[in-house]
A and B are shown apart, each in its own frame.
Chain A
Amino acid sequence: MKRSPARLVIALSVAAVLAIFILYTSIAGAGTPQISPSTLGQHHGEDVLLVGTVVGHVAGNAHAGGMRFLLKDDHGTEPARTRVLYSGSVPDLFRTGRQIVVEGTLRDGTFVAKPGSLVTKCPSKYTPAKSNT
């Protein structure tokens, strides 16, 4: 009976160690930065998640030679645009005007996306855009 608090302490310290472990691994190890087209230039050659809105014409075939399109900042008005080259599955909701997230690397002015990493943000699962009502 007398020894049991010590054991609880052991259990709790195990929990604490785990917590530190988590903090450590996630700060030091994991995590991909989310970047918008206007600040992409500072992350040349780095693996990032590019978040933005599709603008202009979508060209090419994602299953043969790659699909090309331009991306601008979601809420930005300045003409910061990034050329994106993508191949692999294209979500149903992908088209000009949609917000997307795509993972890849900026190489020589073109954002080369990882195949299959394109994700569209569902435009309204729960909330319609309030601005137009």
Chain B
Amino acid sequence: MAALGRAALLLSLGLVAYALVGGSFAAWKRRRRLALSAQNALLAAFATTLVAAIVLWIALWRRDLSFVYVAQHTSRSLPLGYALSAFWGGQEGSLLLWLLVLTGYSALAVWLNRRSRDLVAWTVPVLGGVGVFFAFMLCFVSSPFDTAAAPADGAGMVPSLQNPYMLAHPPMLYLGYVGLTIPFAFAMGSLLARRSDERWIVATRRWTLTAWTFLGVGQLLGAHWAYVEIGWGGYYAWDPVENAALMPWLVATAFLHSVMIQEKRGMLKVWNVTLVALAFCLSVFGTFLTRSGVISSIHSFSQSPIGGWFLGFLAIVIVFSVGLIYLRLPLLKARTKLESLISREATFLYNNLLLVALALTILWGVVYPLLTQAVNGTTRSVSKPYYDFFLHSFGLPLLLLMGIGPLVAWRRASLRALGKTFAIPAAVAVVTGGALLGAGLGSSLPGLLAYTFSAFVAASIALEFVRGRRATGSITRLVARNRRRYGGYLVHAAVVLLAIGIAGSSAYQTVRERSLQPGQAMQVDGYTLTYESLGTRQLQNAQQTSAVVDLSRGHSHIATLHPGKSWFPVEQSSSNDVSIYHDPRNLGDVYTIADGIAKNGTLDLKVLVKPLVNLVWAAGFVFVFGSLVAMWPDAVEQRRLVERYAALPV
């Protein structure tokens, strides 16, 4: 079995190497049949990588402990679902997932664009080149198919990974990370082919959108996972590994916006190829961060030899992209220029600058320990206050821009027209801000600003729908007629929900901690929590001890909570089982953690009251819905674009 896996990976390496070398030669010499065979090699590489993946899955399913990978990440008592998800629980499997998704995406992208021969000619070798790196790593540096004498039982899986989210969160993130390769490859392929048009953007718009959606959803799933499973009461900790996923997402967000300028006005060409390269570099950098252990993280990974390889690959990617963009600068001249600082283009530019500034400040924070170590010998690190400061200084203006940008006219807008457009949203914002201040929410200035700006954006989005409906007669027809625009508005609405949820659950949360004996109670923000008793029960692979805590408000009982701890004998560790009550009254949570359970029955209970936190998760659904609307195939628009490009000089 292991031999089959190894053979399949070697074959994949050969195929992607062929796509790189043969594809380059074919594109250079314009050999059509060779180019076709290079494309087919990419398709075949997906098939062979799939075989390798299936071999690993079968080994995990059978708990074939002679596979070192299986022995290290599963145990005989581990439930099947988690055993299968151990595929991405370890480094070797994660790399295999990278290659599987990469070859799958490449095959599909090349297949869908097979008619645009000139467009894919140089894209195939770029995709092949990225594939070569990962296939090489899997064959010679970090193979999931190493075998050894089977131990009596495997090492098992870290308890906090034994959660249904383990089935969804890592693959989602990978679908996002790896998906950024496709727009990168098309952009570079287009530059290599000396094309100066926007065809690569049209060909990859949905890819970028898909990758970006997966990355966003993956992060929200991870956040929710941390929230319900890790048991510290939060969902984002500015940890380097979390930041590693956020940075490419922010840059991809900037890219999604700025390509519209290039499509409509032929501006920002250099900026766009730079962004797409930056997004890809950040996704490789993210993988490097999570693998190399150079930066200490709560998700820490012991030092591993693959860090150096990733750094080398990253260096090659950076040199290649920067060099290529520099060589092709003459091709990337803008068709038009920015006419006014008050125009749609200008607001997009501000949005881009802010998003990239936010991503780069986060990057600075992440690598800061390395830089200080190199400069003066002591490692210094930045933490929450640093990130919060920049989130407030860049994120809040971004939120405000989200309400302004879509309503400003292209090219040049007059202040007078703007005044008219924004009269209602501004009034709504002022009233909301005043009301919240009156309600005592002035305790947090960022929170108050976030809410006021959110009201402004929500009002301007609602107004757009109202105006549009008046013009077309029905909401569905309106959305169908311009899916990108209204899909975008829905995503903006999701960001507003997210902002409200984050502000509510961080700026306005209440935390209390107390040691309780059975029968004792504590008060938190209007709730009464009474510790009643303690119970234990045996789960499939763990022993669970949980408290019975009665939750009431005033004199009425609302819910019974069961915060506790589980002990996993195989893994020799315990995990927190938090218990959460979702309060429909304020869309928030009463979040309870059994911080300590003493032998005499004393419970150290930590309670967090987090108003509006459920909007963060609701935002996820709106986000996905909005993205789907925006990426849904649109025949009218496709036709419009084809006509546009037919008219353009090549």
Interface residues of chain A, those whose CB is within 8 Å of chain B, are 1, 4-5, 7-8, 10-11, 14-15, 18-19, 22-23, 25-26, 30-35, 49, 51, 61-64, 88-93, 99, 101, 119-130, 133
Name the A residues within 8 Å of B576 (CB-CB).
92
Per a CB cutoff under 8 Å, which of B72, B293, B372, B515 touches A63?
Answer: B515
Q: How many B residues touch A, CB cutoff 8 Å?
A: 67
Contact A31 B372 (CB under 8 A): yes
Contact B385 A126 (CB under 8 A): no
- From known contacts A8-B338, A22-B360, A128-B72, infer whether A122 and B298 are also in contact, taking CB-CB under 8 Å: yes
Most buried by B among A4, A35, A123, A125: A125
Given A23-B364, A31-B386, A128-B90, 16 other A-B residues pairs in contact with their CB atoms under 8 A: A1-B337, A1-B339, A5-B337, A7-B341, A11-B350, A18-B357, A26-B382, A26-B386, A31-B382, A61-B598, A89-B593, A89-B595, A120-B298, A123-B158, A124-B301, A127-B301
- Give 22 A-B contacts (CB < 8 Å), ordered by A residue: A4-B339, A8-B338, A11-B350, A11-B353, A19-B357, A26-B382, A31-B368, A32-B381, A34-B379, A34-B381, A62-B596, A63-B596, A63-B604, A90-B595, A122-B158, A122-B160, A122-B299, A125-B158, A127-B291, A127-B293, A129-B302, A130-B304
How long is the Cα–Cα vector from A125 to B338 in the complex, in angstroms? 48
How long is the Cα–Cα vector from A99 to B297 in the complex, in angstroms? 11
Name the A residues within 8 Å of B298 (CB-CB).
119-122
How long is the Cα–Cα vector from A124 to B364 in the complex, in angstroms? 26
Contact A124 B595 (CB under 8 A): no
Contact B596 A49 (CB under 8 A): no
Name the B residues within 8 Å of A61 (CB-CB).
596, 598
Contact A30 B357 (CB under 8 A): no
Contact B381 A130 (CB under 8 A): no
Contact B338 A4 (CB under 8 A): yes
Name the A residues within 8 Å of B68 (CB-CB).
133
Which residue of chain B is the closest to A63 with respect to CB atoms?
B604
Contact B573 A93 (CB under 8 A): yes
Contact A30 B386 (CB under 8 A): yes
Per a CB cutoff under 8 Å, which of A30, A63, A125 touches B299?
Answer: A125
How long is the Cα–Cα vector from A24 to B229 in the complex, in angstroms? 38
CB distance from A111 to the nearest CB of B (A): 17
Per a CB cutoff under 8 Å, which of B91, B232, B296 touches A89?
Answer: B232
Q: Give how many A-B residue pairs fall within 8 Å (CB-CB).
A: 136
Name the B residues within 8 Å of A14 (CB-CB).
353
Contact A121 B296 (CB under 8 A): yes
- From known contacts A62-B596, A92-B565, infer whether A127 and B91 are also in contact, taking CB-CB under 8 Å: yes
Name the A residues within 8 Å of B300 (CB-CB).
99, 121-122, 125
How long is the Cα–Cα vector from A62 to B91 in the complex, in angstroms? 35
Instruction: Decide if B574 is an interface residue (CB 8 Å cutoff).
Output: yes
Contact B90 A31 (CB under 8 A): no
Contact B381 A49 (CB under 8 A): yes
Per a CB cutoff under 8 Å, which of A19, A23, A35 touches B378?
Answer: A35
Per a CB cutoff under 8 Å, which of B231, B380, B574 touches A33?
Answer: B380
Contact B565 A31 (CB under 8 A): no
Contact B349 A11 (CB under 8 A): yes
Instruction: Decide if B606 is an interface residue (CB 8 Å cutoff).
Output: yes
Name the B residues within 8 Å of A1 (CB-CB).
337, 339
- From known contacts A31-B372, A122-B299, infer whether A26 and B364 are also in contact, taking CB-CB under 8 Å: yes
- Bitwise, B335-347 to A at CB < 8 A (1) or not (0) is 0011101000010
CB distance from B566 to the nearest CB of A (A): 9
Interface residues of chain B, those whose CB is within 8 Å of chain A, are 68, 72-73, 89-91, 94, 148, 155, 158-161, 231-232, 290-291, 293, 296-302, 304-305, 337-339, 341, 346, 349-350, 353, 356-357, 360-361, 364-365, 368-369, 372, 378-383, 385-386, 389-390, 513, 515, 565, 573-576, 593, 595-596, 598, 604, 606
How long is the Cα–Cα vector from A23 to B68 in the complex, in angstroms? 46
CB distance from A130 to the nearest CB of B (A): 7
Contact B337 A126 (CB under 8 A): no
Contact B381 A127 (CB under 8 A): no
How long is the Cα–Cα vector from A128 to B86 in the complex, in angstroms? 13
Contact B91 A126 (CB under 8 A): yes
- From known contacts A11-B353, A90-B595, infer whether A124 and B302 are also in contact, taking CB-CB under 8 Å: yes
How long is the Cα–Cα vector from A89 to B90 in the complex, in angstroms? 28
How long is the Cα–Cα vector from A1 to B361 in the complex, in angstroms? 33
How long is the Cα–Cα vector from A22 to B378 in the complex, in angstroms? 20
CB distance from B632 to the nearest CB of A (A): 33
Name the A residues within 8 Å of B296 (CB-CB).
34, 51, 101, 121
Name the A residues within 8 Å of B72 (CB-CB).
128, 133
CB distance from A99 to the nearest CB of B (A): 7
Contact B89 A126 (CB under 8 A): yes
How long is the Cα–Cα vector from A126 to B91 in the complex, in angstroms? 5
- From known contacts A15-B357, A31-B380, A63-B515, infer whether A26 and B155 are also in contact, taking CB-CB under 8 Å: no
Contact A89 B372 (CB under 8 A): no
Name the B residues within 8 Å of A51 (CB-CB).
296
CB distance from A10 to the nearest CB of B (A): 8
Contact A4 B337 (CB under 8 A): yes
How long is the Cα–Cα vector from A125 to B222 in the complex, in angstroms? 14
